Structure 1
């Protein structure tokens, strides 16, 4: 048996502000964003992306044939919407899935397979003959986006991927789903392919792998002595304009990294963060207090601001940073990913 070795992971999947607009009703415990021009949503609490595909009935065929063709077109529309949304998901605060797809044939193939493997729900038949079908994929798990964007060393045997060879046609190829539904059928049902123009990728900092995020500087704050046994930490980011991510970074006031980003971590950490995400999300402190992840005695800290190009990283005051680092030394709350963000 091999001994666990430190790994580096660019963690995090933050959906692009260009694709998603936050919709977080105060009465809801789940942190949900509306996506795809109102036809989809990302539930960051349950870890699912759901879109509603729609199909209009064609002018040909008998009633049964038209219904079948319309259902197939609705599923195809859902797949196309998922492809568009996933391309804007953030791997970290400076990098989107589209950047990874552009740089790696294997990731392109895996993302395309994720879209094609999405699970359609039951069809809803509308009075005008149109059909709507919900299509869902997971953010977390080896079969979700987290499993695709995790490093090779975290993948199950046989899933290692090429992370270096570029393919600048990958973004366009991601949406080539015509094998699922013939283009003639799509045309007959008045569906247009998702038109996503390739955007030049940001340059990659030296040593950053596929990420566009500069390598972090670890915090140098001197921790205070913490004697309490905390079961987790709740970072209150309400009202600061933060956006959810599967692994946002926690920083001190000077930009020193306290929690994750590309911090060294043991292999034993991999399964948990792939399946559950680096942090949990709620939209209320009360709900955060009820999460098993936070435990019965969480440390509660208020972020002073949000950082990162896509507003994913929480910044603490130096006093709060010292308290968090001290609590980690005593209770290992960050080492066990017992972290919850409230947005």
Structure 2
């Protein structure tokens, strides 16, 4: 079991290096403190937005020779790995009430585009077993193309991207550069488009605060399970504000509730419009 966990961790590193594009290049490589959601045949790293899945193919009995048997086993393993990756994608929560599978059921266009991404998913690792079988691991970004397909249309987002983040020397002393929400102990589940509400149900953070470009390329929020790692993540800059969530809402338990007084404090800070608009948000989960 220990070797299997170690192998998955190494593969997640490969997933970031080989699959991640410019939008996530600034983030740290996956570590044991990232929030990784495990599934039977794959996993999702919710900090850097990478997914991996594995499949095993057996050599056919009617192969002409060993080389042909191994090649056919590899092709079969790749098909199975991509099928498992599809199941992983279908289960991803988009917001508090919708999964990727919900979108696929309602639109043939979505199905076609997601299958296209799957066909182009990268082979990250190939392991040849002593019995002739082959295990293949494939990887794909959740951000970028897939986000563009499944996230709400532009009218649900802020229309324009905010100005570029100021350089450290340009910041007002003590100005906040991001937001870290501690949601540990509440049974929160990660989602592509989480919201942050106050205790009166008024939205502090969501698609109306972020341009669609930012949401697609870097995700609405990063997730972590270690507070120090979250606080030092480049996503939230050098001086993030921290706040503890007091409740969770939504059918999928992905929307966070913070104290109204804290929400009002954030709303009155001029710099919050920039860091929230740039999706500089990290969420701490168990």
TM-score by length of 2: 0.78
Partner of 1:116: 119
List structure 1 segments (4+ residues) > 4 angstroms apart after TM superposition: 151-154, 328-331
Bigger Rg over Cα: 1
Contact 1:236 1:342 survives alignment (8 Å): yes
Matches of residues 132-281 of structure 1 in structure 2 within 5 Å?
A: 132-141=135-144, 143=145, 145-151=146-152, 153=154, 228-261=174-207, 263=208, 269-281=211-223
Residues in 2 aligned to 1:297 and 1:115: alpha-carbon distance in whole angstroms: 38
Residues in 1 aligned to 2:176 and 2:259: alpha-carbon distance in whole angstroms: 20
Partner of 1:168: none
Partner of 1:92: 95
Structure 1 residues 130-139 or 239-248, which shifts more? 239-248
Residues in 2 aligned to 1:135 and 1:63: alpha-carbon distance in whole angstroms: 24
SS state at 1:121 partner:
strand
Partner of 1:339: 281
Deviation digits for residues 86-143 of structure 1 (CA, Å, limit 9, x no counterpart)? 11212211011111112222111111111121111232011221110101111111x3
Go from structure 1 to structure 2 and tell me whether the alpha carbon gap of 1:105 and 1:253 turns closer, same or farther (over 3 Å shift): same
Structure 1 gaps of 5+ residues are 1-26, 155-207, 209-226
Go from structure 1 to structure 2 and tell me whether the alpha carbon gap of 1:331 and 1:94 turns closer, same or farther (over 3 Å shift): closer
Partner of 1:55: 57
TM-score by length of 1: 0.65
The count of residues paired between Structure 1 and Structure 2 equals 238
Partner of 1:321: 263
Residues in 1 aligned to 2:192 and 2:101: alpha-carbon distance in whole angstroms: 16
Structure 2 gaps of 5+ residues are 1-30, 157-172
RMSD over equivalenced CA pairs, Å: 2.1
Aligned-residue offset at 1:333: 2.2
Residues in 2 aligned to 1:332 and 1:121: alpha-carbon distance in whole angstroms: 37
Aligned-residue offset at 1:335: 1.8
Deviation digits for residues 289-337 of structure 1 (CA, Å, limit 9, x no counterpart)? 1112211111110000111111111101111221222235665321222
Aligned-residue offset at 1:153: 4.7
SS state at 1:110 partner:
helix
